[in-house]
């Protein structure tokens, strides 16, 4: 096994500037450059590469509360999509020294190849406390421009996540197939930025999947003759996705099983005229407790979202039932449509990484197609 311990440590200074003017000084991590996006934090203690490649993070600067990034290297197979999707990384310790036999690369090489700009050696606990008090906001990281006034100018041009349509930017451009063509169930997947492990959870349960670009209309989806429809996770504001809300409404008329995860859950709600809202701070981590109201059981879940569905609108809507709630803040975690085979969850039952408590939801979807 080749360790790259001999590499010179990188001491290029870097700056993180938040929209409210707060400045943090640290060291460059990854590519030397400048990057912008909405700052958010994930509290997961493992699975950094899966997080970096999760398309739902597109347009976001990620703060990892796990103090060590890079210590188990990177591996080409441990990805949720074909490339890094976060817009930048903010971490405490960024190390090129990894101690995993199976790793393919160190994190610095990986970031350089993927063109990702980051900052390390900043007080991530202080940053998290700051954004937890002040709410979601935009930020800029730079290891090439160290002039605050110039960075402020560039940051001012970054659009707010509220109202931003991003799913079509990470969706597949061409349809593709996954699984065994002879499998029992055919699922039409609307790809708004799907995580690979979600598709695998369905394929390994006997589904043959056709994954379609975000803007595919009903006729093309129907041509696959699916037994069920799946609405994927993805980045951006669901309310800005008129095209997907229209298609979801049409799919609801088909009387075929529907399953939605995260952005897909929000789109199912919007198709039922339940609005979404931007949260003060999102949920991102792998230990979020959720109560299943149908069974009374609690499950520990993996989450990554900054928007949520409006609880009051659901309570006023006699078509929809709440199936899951978050035990930390009582936000809506799952819904189902009364009298139809359609349900969705705000969290990530594939949990890659994370606890597998919620994988039964894939089995529920399969049962619905039987």
Ligand X SMILES: NC(=O)CC[C@H](N)C(=O)O
Which one-letter DSSP state was computed for residue 160?
Answer: P
Nearest Cα residue to 239 out of 344, 322, 137, 162: 162
Q: For residues 73 and 260, which CB has a smaller minimum distance to ligand X in the complex?
A: 260
List, in sequence order, every residue forming a beta bridge with 335; answer none if it has no partner.
Answer: 322, 344
Mapped onto helix, strand or coil, the DSSP state of residue 264 is: helix
Q: How far is CA 296 from CA 177, 253, 261, in A?
A: 37, 31, 21
Q: Is 235 in the site for ligand X (CB under 6 A)?
A: yes
User: Is 144 annotated as catalytic?
Assistant: no
The reply to whether 262 belongs to the active site is yes
Q: Rule CB under 6 A: is residue 230 a binding residue for ligand X?
A: no
83 in a known ligand binding site: no
- Do residues 323 and 346 lie in contact, with contact meaning Cβ atoms separated by under 8 Å? no
CB 224 within 8 A of CB 264: no
Identify which of residues 107 and 239 has a Cβ nearer to ligand X in the complex: 239
Q: Which of 113, 117, 93, 94 is nearest to 105 (CA)?
A: 113
Residue 233 binds ligand X (CB under 6 A): yes
- What does the block give as tokens for 257? 């099983």
To the question of whether residue 33 is assigned a binding role by annotation, the answer is no
Q: Contact, 26 vs 122, CB < 8 A?
A: yes
Q: Which residue's CB is nearer to ligand X, number 34 or number 138?
A: 138
**Residue 263 is assigned to a ligand binding site:** yes
Stretch that binds ligand X, among 72-80, 220-228, 301-309, 313-321 (CB under 6 A): 301-309
Could you give the count of Cα atoms lying within 13 Å of 339 in the half-sphere of its Cβ? 5
What is the DSSP pairing of strand 88-90 with strand 342-345? unpaired
Name the residue nearer to ligand X (CB basis): 30 or 235.
235
Residue 307 in the binding site for ligand X (CB under 6 A):
yes
Nearest approach, Cβ of residue 126 and ligand X (Å) = 24
* Residue 47 is a binding residue for ligand X (CB under 6 A): no
- 57, HSE (Cβ side, Cα atoms, 13 Å): 30
- Under the criterion CB under 6 A, does residue 107 sit at the interface with ligand X? no
Enumerate the β-bridge partners of residue 74: 105
Q: Confirm or deny that 166 is annotated as ligand binding.
A: no
Q: Does 234 bind ligand X (CB under 6 A)?
A: yes
Is 306 a binding residue for ligand X by CB under 6 A? The answer is: yes
Contact call for residue 344 and ligand X (CB under 6 A): no
- Minimum separation from the CB atom of position 262 to ligand X (A): 3
Segment lying near ligand X (by CB under 6 A), choices 201-209, 215-223, 229-237, 358-366: 229-237
Residue listed under structure tokens 């590469």: 49
Catalytic residue among 50, 262, 299, 305: 262
**DSSP line for 91-104:** -SEE-S----TT--
How far, in Å, CA of 64 to CA of 234, rounded?
Answer: 20
**Nearer to ligand X (CB atom), residue 122 or residue 269:** 269
Query: Closest CB to ligand X among 15 and 314?
Result: 314
In the complex, the smallest distance separating the C-beta of residue 266 from ligand X, rounded to whole angstroms, is: 6
Which helix or strand (DSSP H or E) is residue 250 part of? helix 242-252
> How far apart are the C-alpha atoms of 36 and 141, rounded to whole Å?
6
Answer yes or no: is 56 a known binding residue: yes
Please report whether residue 236 would count as binding ligand X according to CB under 6 A. yes
Please, what is the minimum distance in Å from the beta carbon of residue 44 to ligand X? 13
Contacts of 106 (CB under 8 A, 6+ apart): 4, 7, 70, 73, 74, 96, 97, 98
Q: Under rule CB under 6 A, how many of the chain's residues touch ligand X?
A: 12
- Contact predicate 136/306, CB 8 Å: yes
Q: How far is the CB of 304 from ligand X (least distance, A)?
A: 4
Query: Using the rule CB under 6 A, which residue among 209, 263, 314, 369 binds ligand X?
Result: 263
171 binds ligand X (CB under 6 A): no
Q: Residues forming the annotated binding site for L-glutamine?
A: 56, 234, 236, 263, 266, 304, 306-307
Interacting residues toward ligand X by CB under 6 A: 56, 233-236, 262-263, 282, 304-307
Q: Residues forming the annotated binding site?
A: 56, 234, 236, 263, 266, 304, 306-307
Catalytic residues: 262, 348, 350
């Amino acid at each position: 096994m080749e360790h790259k311990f001999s590499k010179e440590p990188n001491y290029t200074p870097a700056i993180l500037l938040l929209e409210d003017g707060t400045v943090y000084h640290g060291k460059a991590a990854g590519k030397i450059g400048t990057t912008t996006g909405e700052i958010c934090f994930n509290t997961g203690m493992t699975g950094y590469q899966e997080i970096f490649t999760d398309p739902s993070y597109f347009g976001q600067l990620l703060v990892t509360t796990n103090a060590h990034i890079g210590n188990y290297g990177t591996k080409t197979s441990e990805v949720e999509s074909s490339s890094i999707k976060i817009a930048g990384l903010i971490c405490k310790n960024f190390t090129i020294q990894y101690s995993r036999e199976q790793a393919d690369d160190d994190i610095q090489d990986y970031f350089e190849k993927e063109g990702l700009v980051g900052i390390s050696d900043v007080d991530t606990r202080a940053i998290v406390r700051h954004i937890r008090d002040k709410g979601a906001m935009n930020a800029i990281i730079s290891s090439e421009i160290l002039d605050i006034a110039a960075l402020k100018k560039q940051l001012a041009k970054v659009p707010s996540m509220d109202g931003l349509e991003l799913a079509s930017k990470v969706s597949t451009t061409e349809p593709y197939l996954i699984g065994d063509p002879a499998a029992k169930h055919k699922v039409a997947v609307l790809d708004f930025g799907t995580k690979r492990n979600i598709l695998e959870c369905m394929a390994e349960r006997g589904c043959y999947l056709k994954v379609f670009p975000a803007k595919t209309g009903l006729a093309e989806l129907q041509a696959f003759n699916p037994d069920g429809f799946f609405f994927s996770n993805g980045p951006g504001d669901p309310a800005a996705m008129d095209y997907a809300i229209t298609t979801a409404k049409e799919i609801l008329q088909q009387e075929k099983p529907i399953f939605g995860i995260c952005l897909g859950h929000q789109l199912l709600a919007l198709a039922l005229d339940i609005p979404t809202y931007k949260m003060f701070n999102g949920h991102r981590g792998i230990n979020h407790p959720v109560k299943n109201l149908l069974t009374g059981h609690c499950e520990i879940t993996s989450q990554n979202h900054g928007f949520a569905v409006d609880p009051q609108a659901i309570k006023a809507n006699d078509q929809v039932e709440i199936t899951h709630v978050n035990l930390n803040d009582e936000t809506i975690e799952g819904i189902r449509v009364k009298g139809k085979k359609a349900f969705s969850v705000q969290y990530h039952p594939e949990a890659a990484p994370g606890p597998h408590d919620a994988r039964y939801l894939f089995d529920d979807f399969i049962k619905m197609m039987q």
